[in-house]
Amino acid sequence: MSETQVNDENEKEVELEAKENEEAQVAEEETTDGEQEISEEMKELMEFKDKFYYVAAEMENLKRRHEKQLQDQMKFGTEKVMIGLLDVVDNLERTLQAIENDEDEKVKNIFTGVDMVKNQFLDCLKNNGLELIETDGKTFDPHFHEAMAQMPAEGKEDQEIIQTYQNGYSLNGRVIRAAKVVVAKN
């Protein structure tokens, strides 16, 4: 073989090797690109998974919050009506106090009738969650009582309630009107 032929063959081999190297690089780049695509897809999949869990947790919290609001609405939805009806109860009590000591037989019958209506009315309110706040002989509690005055009282402890101006009421455990009271101060 002549030297030119050898050089041509060497050049062909070098070209063939260069071509093979180039193809190997391209294949390697494609593999790297493929791995990058897979890792990007996995990353995207993990992001969607995280978002799904976040949305699912948010929906569960929303569901619980909504159920609590419904329960509160059922328990305290009548609060405004009850507060308005307490004025009626107060007027019935004032009426009873005004005619309590009257000697006329007709007035005594009216007293009995009004007292029965008041008790029936209070029973109806009690069946719907209204409760009277106890005051007689109790110690003053600012969560349930409103002090209108303080007076010295013999035989009573400090902060003991000695008189009630206006009854207080709670609805399903929530105070809707504090009892207005006079407290002993010795």
- The pLDDT tens digits of the residues spanning 103-147 come to 889 999 999 999 999 999 999 999 988 999 999 889 999 999 999
What residue spans define the domains of the chain?
A: 1-76, 78-128, 131-186
pLDDT of residue 75: 77
**DSSP state string for the chain:** --HHHHHHHHHHHHHHHHHHHHHHHHHHHHHHHHHHHHHHHHHHHHHHHHHHHHHHHHHHHHHHHHHHHHHHHHHHTTHHHHHHHHHHHHHHHHHHHHHTT---HHHHHHHHHHHHHHHHHHHHHHHTTEEEEP-TTPBP-TTTEEEEEEE--TT--TTBEEEEEE-EEEETTEEEEPEEEEEE--
The CATH class of the 131-186 domain is mainly beta
